[in-house]
Amino acid sequence: MNLKASQREAVGNGPSRVLRREGKIPAILYGPKTEPIKLAIDRLELEPIFKSGAVAQKLLKLEIEGADAVRNVMIKELQKHPLSRTVLHLDLYEVSMDQKIKVMVPVVTTGKSTGVEMGGMLQIIRRELEVFCLPDQIPENITIDITDLEIGDSFHVEDLPEDEAVEIPADVNFTILTILSPTAGEEEEVEAEEEGEEEGEEGAEAAEEPAAE
């Protein structure tokens, strides 16, 4: 996806507020071999990127006004207003197309588990996995077929099919998802409810204690 930006000189809260009133977002570009460059990006430029989802995985072609070269960048950090959720600032990271990077990719499931059809409960433990790959080979997601999983079965990182282009740098063969028995699922819900009640009781007791003078 393409992204256009212009360079800016002024920094600080005041100039940033002026930019936002003009419909622009202050940003900064940096990277291992890139000197920091202060940028301003039109808010309309960002809308199609945000609507496409998985913003942190998108490889963007950045065109800076007045510069000849197009830069390959990714959104490293996104700051939003805590109430309105409008974008306040962007950190853009320039990547080299011949060097692998680490990025988080969402986990999705396909099929209906045999265990779930028998009354079990699907529990996804890791909703994102860190992958190591070239910037133009980032997968949209890690898809796991759960059709053959029965109650009590689990799917671990080592169960994922090998892919020469995408490496999952995991030191431990951790569990990605599991099929809980109906009893185990109910017990977890009860435990969660009891913990909530205990926290509520503790809060009530603390409120009843007189304040120290």
- What pLDDT, in 10s, does the model give residues 166-207? 999 877 889 999 999 987 545 555 454 555 555 555 554 444
Q: What is the pLDDT of residue 49?
A: 85
Report d(CA 129, CA 138) in Å as an integer.
Answer: 12
For the domain covering 101-202, report its CATH number.
2.170.120.20
- Please identify, in words, the CATH class of the domain defined by 2-94: mainly beta
All structural domains of the chain with their residue ranges: 2-94, 101-202
Which SS3 state, helix, strand or coil, does residue 19 take? helix
Number of neighbouring beta carbons within 10 Å of residue 179: 23
pTM of the model: 0.71
Intrachain domains 2-94 and 101-202 with the same fold: no
Choose between 17 and 110: higher pLDDT. Answer: 110
* Non-local CB neighbours of 137 within 8 Å, separated by 6+ positions: 165, 166
Which SS3 state, helix, strand or coil, does residue 130 take? strand
* Non-local CB neighbours of 203 within 8 Å, separated by 6+ positions: none
